Amino acid sequence: MKKLGELIKEKRIAKGFTLRAFCMRIEADPSNWSKVERGLIKFPTASLLDEITKVLDLDNQEVQEIKELAVIQIISKDLDLNEKLLEALPVFFRTTRDLKPSEEQLKELIQILKNN
Residue range 55-79, pLDDT digits in tens: 999 999 899 888 888 877 766 655 5
The domain locations on the chain are 1-79, 81-116
User: What are the residue ranges in the chain where pLDDT is below 50?
Assistant: none
Determine the pLDDT at residue 81. Answer: 61
Determine the pLDDT at residue 8. Answer: 95
Amino acid at 3: K
Calculate the dihedral angle through the C-alpha atoms of 99, 103, 109, 114, rounding to the nearest 10 degrees: 150
Determine the pLDDT at residue 35. Answer: 94
* pTM for the whole structure: 0.70
Round to whole Å and give the CA distance between 37 and 32: 9
**Domain spanning 1-79 has what CATH number?**
1.10.260.40
Determine the pLDDT at residue 111. Answer: 72
